[in-house]
A and B are shown apart, each in its own frame.
Chain A
Amino acid sequence: MNKKGMFGETFVEIASLFAIILVLITFWYILAYAPNLKAKQEISQIIGAEEKLTLINLMRSNINFDIDNDGILENINLADMLVYSYKNDNYKAFNGVIKEKLSVLFKDRNCKWSLTVFDGRKIINSIGSIGEFSSVNNEGTARNKRIQSASVLLPVDNKKMLTIKYGDNLIESENGSC
């Protein structure tokens, strides 16, 4: 092979090497940015994943109730009344007040809601028209069922707590019926 032929062959091989490097860089670029190159994008708004403050406001609402059995009505909140009901194992008065307060909140419309009280994992009181939903605190489950949920921990004494879970129907809220 003459000098001119060897030079030509070397030139072709170097050019081919550059071509491979160029192909590799293009390949890496496409792989790295491929997800963003999709033609169709779907934008969805997350709704109902935030905890509603309905429950905490409900628990804070005041009532007059004789909590220490001295014949005098004391001004307490619903959380205190729940603890009192737990200590006496009688939720009748508490459930009545909850229904009354929520009917005021929903302005007597037929809205579905549920309030469940847990002592550890045991359900000790459950009221409402959605029914008992022990997994309401699970965000995924709650979202699938289209339930807006909230939970609150309440102290009973220095060793015991109660968990309250509340939910109402998101679809009804969205379409304005609740």
Chain B
Amino acid sequence: MALAKIKGRNGSFIFGPLLLIIVIAMLTIAGFKLITLEKSVQKKQIGEMQIELLNTYNDGEKALFFIEQSLKYSGINALQEFYSKGGYFLNDCGTINNYNLWMKGSQKCFLDKKMALEQFSEFLTSNLNEYAANYNLPIQNKYVVREGKNTLIASGNEIEFYKEQFKYYVMPAFNVPYNAEVSNIADWSNKIKDNIDKCKNNIVCWKGIDSNIRVVESNKVFYFDIDYKSVGFFEKKPLVLKFALDFNEYNPLFSVLLP
């Protein structure tokens, strides 16, 4: 009779221990939670978002200052490379003994002002990005230069700065003092082109064009060194325009070479 009574109360027999286990589990979780909770005062800080915003802006300002300073120093290096490579970052006429060719037989590679600015943009981008590679944020860029009034304006694509929820974009554009150093190469290029048919492979004729021209000839290739002015920020170095003319494949149908 008693056994039957217990069998009939199977649900209650399980329910008691189950309730005990749940209560113990709840007390353990609640105790753990209370221990790990911050003590008595709930702290709220205001201004975090505003400070993030200010610091994101400051990051942009600091990067712009770094680029501006880099431009001053690397611009001189770019100009010296630009002159020593005859104004060409990449040249279709090729190179001989580290001199870029302005003419190879009948193939002409003279520069106009637009081309000179495009080529100089490549030199400037390459030099400036060497500086930018050292910076602690990605600020490498592609720069394009154009002439202003006594200034050269270098501008790049926008750079993104972000901190958590903020994104800040800066468009680098800087003016540097300029005395037509880039367009000077185009002027020289025009001068050489205008005298090709007159001087051909006559070294005396080429030397007579301008007192700043130094020219040597080897195997019908004329190597030109033209002294320009000295430039530099901390230390002035002379700009020397270097290029070559190759008369080896000069087409006699267009012009006749002198002996």
Contacts and interface: CB of A to CB of B under 8 A. Distances in A.
Nearest to A17: B15
Contacts of A79: 65, 69
A27 B26 CA distance: 8
Interface string B186-214: 00000000000000000000000000000
A107 B72 CA distance: 32
Interface of chain A, main secondary structure: mixed
Interface stretch (B40-48, B91-99, B101-109, B140-148): B40-48
Contacts of A67: 233-234
B58 A155 contact: no
Contact of B47 (A9, A46, A161): A46
Nearest to A6: B8
B156 interface: no
A138 interface: no
B22 A56 contact: no
A41 B47 contact: no
A41 B5 CA distance: 57
| A: interface residue count bin | 35 or more
Given A20-B19, A53-B58, A80-B233, A60 B47 contact: no
A160 B66 CA distance: 12
B216 interface: no
A142 B56 CA distance: 19
A174 interface: no
A117 B117 CA distance: 37
A98 interface: no
A127 interface: no
A44 B42 contact: no
A56 B46 contact: no
Contact of B22 (A1, A20, A60, A150): A20
A38 B236 contact: no
Contact of B42 (A16, A38, A51, A152): A38
Contacts of A27: 26, 29-30
B150 to A, nearest CB: 14
B136 A153 contact: yes
B158 interface: no
B70 interface: yes
A79 B69 CA distance: 8
Contact of A51 (B45, B55, B135): B55
A104 interface: no
B69 A155 contact: yes
A147 to B, nearest CB: 16
Contacts of A59: 65
A93 to B, nearest CB: 14
A111 interface: no
Contacts of B19: 20
A16 B15 contact: yes
B54 A35 contact: no
Kindly name the residue among A41, A154, A161 whose own CB sees the greatest number of chain B CB atoms within 10 A: A161
Given A31-B33, A50-B58, A158 B74 contact: yes
Q: Which 8 A-B pairs give the minimum distances between C-beta atoms?
A: A158-B130, A46-B47, A50-B54, A38-B42, A155-B70, A43-B44, A41-B42, A50-B51
14 contacts: A9-B9, A24-B26, A27-B26, A36-B42, A42-B42, A42-B43, A45-B46, A50-B54, A50-B55, A68-B233, A83-B234, A155-B131, A158-B131, A160-B134
